[in-house]
Structure formats: structure tokens, C-alpha cells
């Protein structure tokens, strides 16, 4: 009897699509999706996560933020030109925020941080080099 109830619940209610209809609808939606759209959504997600890794003290991980910023920079040219300016602005803001927190010193900025370019904060770093990435 429980099997009959379970089978009965699998049947679509009147006016609702069947499983095959839903599958066909999903297939149609996937046909319309462009890779550039997925890349754009991915970059936005990566930049949002990077911002959290910088801004939230309890989640701060500047090494992860750097990976996210570098990934955003690598992918920005692959999205549609209308979105590129906004993404570049967001990346620039993250770079400034990163530089601010990377300059706080040990114990103040959380763990996992690495200076951009793989350089430490030793004396070989040129004076005036903030460690901020610049588009290139």
C-alpha cells in the first residue's frame, strides 16, 4: 500500500509538467546558455568570495583572495565587452582592499597571506612598490 501511495505521488498533478516535459524544457534551456554567460557568473562569484576573504576578519585569507583576484583578471577578457568595465572596476577595488590588508603586518591581517608576485616584504622590495597589481 505504501508503494501505491509513493507511486501516486510521483504522478504529475493535473496541469503540471511530466518528468519528460521537464527534462525537455531543461534541455532547451541548456541549448540557450552561452559559455560567456557562465564565465561571467563564475567571475562574479569568484570576486564576491575574494571580497569576503579580505573584508571579513573571521574569514580573512589573503592567499585565497589573491588567487581570486588573479582568476578574475585572467577571465575578464573572455566575457562580453559590456561587462568588462564593471568587472575591471570591481577587480581594482579588490586590489586596493587587498593592498590595505596585506600592509597591516603579521597578526593584524589574518592568515594565508602572500605578497603579490610571490615577493616577501624583505628589503629587496623597491621603495614605493605597494604590491598592487596593475592591468597589463
Q: CA–CA separation, 78 vs 39, rounded Å?
A: 7
The secondary structure element, H or E, covering residue 30 is helix 19-32
Is pLDDT above 90 for 98? yes
- Tell me how far the alpha carbon of residue 42 is from its chain's centroid: 6
pTM more than 0.75: no
Is pLDDT above 50 for 60? yes
Comparing C-alpha atoms, which of 67, 38, 30, 73 is closest to residue 50?
67
Instruction: Name the band, by pLDDT with cuts 50, 70 and 90, for residue 25.
Output: very high
Q: Where are the domains of the chain?
A: 31-102
Is pLDDT above 70 for 106? no
- pLDDT mean across residues, the chain: 79
Comparing C-alpha atoms, which of 116, 134, 5, 8 is closest to residue 62?
116
Q: What is the pLDDT of residues 107-118, one digit of tens each?
A: 444 444 444 444
Comparing C-alpha atoms, which of 127, 107, 3 is closest to residue 57?
107
Which pLDDT score is estimated for 11? 61
Comparing C-alpha atoms, which of 58, 132, 48, 75 is closest to residue 98?
132
Terminal-to-terminal C-alpha distance of the chain: 69
Amino acid at each position: 500500500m505504501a508503494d501505491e501511495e509513493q507511486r501516486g505521488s510521483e504522478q504529475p498533478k493535473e496541469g503540471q509538467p511530466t518528468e519528460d516535459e521537464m527534462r525537455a524544457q531543461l534541455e532547451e534551456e541548456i541549448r540557450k546558455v552561452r559559455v560567456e554567460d557562465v564565465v561571467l557568473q563564475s567571475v562574479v562569484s569568484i570576486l564576491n568570495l575574494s571580497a569576503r576573504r579580505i573584508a571579513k576578519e573571521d574569514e580573512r585569507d589573503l592567499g585565497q583572495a589573491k588567487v581570486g583576484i588573479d582568476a578574475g583578471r585572467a577571465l575578464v577578457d573572455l566575457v562580453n565587452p559590456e561587462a568588462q568595465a564593471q568587472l575591471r572596476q570591481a577587480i581594482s577595488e579588490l586590489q586596493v582592499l587587498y593592498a590595505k590588508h596585506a600592509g597591516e603586518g603579521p597578526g593584524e591581517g589574518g592568515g594565508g597571506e602572500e605578497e603579490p608576485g610571490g615577493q616577501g616584504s624583505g628589503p629587496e622590495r623597491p621603495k614605493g612598490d605597494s604590491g598592487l597589481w596593475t592591468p597589463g
